[in-house]
Structure 1
């Protein structure tokens, strides 16, 4: 499947749209590893059209060339996610966070460090397949890149905007990032919606299970997407991802003030 890379001015169009309605929450949307904000555009559009203020930042090391991700640290990416939340929180009383894959892990990091009204994690990356991390650790110094991980989509003709190579050292960086997030899951206080594809060719089932096993039953809502693969925001269930996300954010807003983190 072909892959392309967008330049920054194009991908940031996902943050534009109608003027947000007064009093509506802000929503931070975070894309996945090697991808761009374009992967979040469908769900961002649904939320934006409902009157929410939407911010879909390009994460460090993305949207340029894959070599740049090899020299990007986990700390840079984690800081960028928090900065995105802070940007919205300066303008909106309530802010929710939505993320796909690595962005799902980042959304949980934000929830552990800030006080979002709600979290939506779409196929969150909390575990890698064992061979992925082993390969990165053993060969990162001699093998700059390998085959792409983007584009796991069942819908015919749909192309994810992502790097056409996977930077190997960056996979090891991703491993460190998600290890930190796993250690923070007990600090997440906001309600969480887990949208999980029944079949995912990128992540092991243990990735979603890690979230399920670390959340209180009353805190987590889990929905299985039967028709989509990993990039569910662009797949057959894209419409369902959009309306379920919006419905969950509205329910969280009606339930009262967000609970503060530690």
Structure 2
């Protein structure tokens, strides 16, 4: 059976302007690695923490919850501060975008926020589907037989509901309070599920900041940082960062 190598956080030292990069649910910092390398090449210090439980087996993942994952985000933010970075922008995709909004709410010295593919309304069954899809792919990569995979996934279905209710509640509470007065760029893929475009518009309409922009990308799916329009997205994010008051 193949051993899965645990992904890790990554840190790319640059100048005093820093970017906190936040990955998606069930994933890991690889979501943000190419964006981080690009921005680091432009002089930015970049750090992408891995959330507790992520990068591990699905059974280990569901032993953690949104409070654990948020703590990993907070620790990432303070890591950059301890590196001497006085000003920080935050960029997140999917769940990472939800966390990016919360970073903007809770830390006064955030310079700007970029969010991609952020969910507004997500039902527990949909979140469970995400977990089970991840679980199947993980177990296939391990080299397990289909019969064993089916048995293990049935166990996961029963175990995961409580954690996923907490995740749904975390997303809902974030979207109920969008009093964020920071520059923000909202991005979504036109090839993603329609709800993500609806979510992007909802967030745009409900943010109190006057410094906000919204853009859809015609050839992008959910994981925009690794899609066909990656270079355009990198360039747009850099343009946004350059306009911030550092």
TM-score (norm 2): 0.80
Q: Which string of whole-angstrom CA distances, capped at 9 and with x for unpartnered residues, describes residues 128-156 of structure 1?
A: 157526xx5xxxxxx9x5233999xxxxx
Is 1:97 matched up with 2:90? yes
The aligned counterpart of 2:106 is 113
Larger Rg, first or second structure (1 or 2): 2
Structure 2 unmatched runs, 5+: 138-148
Please show how residues 45-194 of structure 1 align to structure 2 within 5 Å.
Answer: 45-90=37-82, 91-115=84-108, 116-129=110-123, 131-132=125-126, 146-148=132-134, 168-169=160-161, 170-186=163-179, 188-194=180-186
Is 1:199 matched up with 2:198? no
Q: 1:30 aligns with which of 5, 22, 36?
A: 22
Structure 1 unmatched runs, 5+: 137-142, 152-163, 258-262
Distance 1:38 1:203, change over 3 A: farther
Q: 1:226 aligns with which of 218, 222, 229?
A: 218
CA distance in structure 1 between the partners assigned to 2:72 and 2:237 by the alignment = 22
TM-score (norm 1): 0.75
Select the structure with the greater relative contact order (CA < 8 A; seq sep ≥ 6). Answer: 1
Contact map agreement 2:57 2:135 (CA 8 A) in 1: no
Is 1:243 matched up with 2:235? yes
Q: Aligned-pair distance for 1:88?
A: 1.1
Divergent runs of 4+, >6 A: 164-167
SS in 2 for 1:85: helix
Please tell me the root mean square deviation across aligned C-alpha atoms, in Å: 2.8
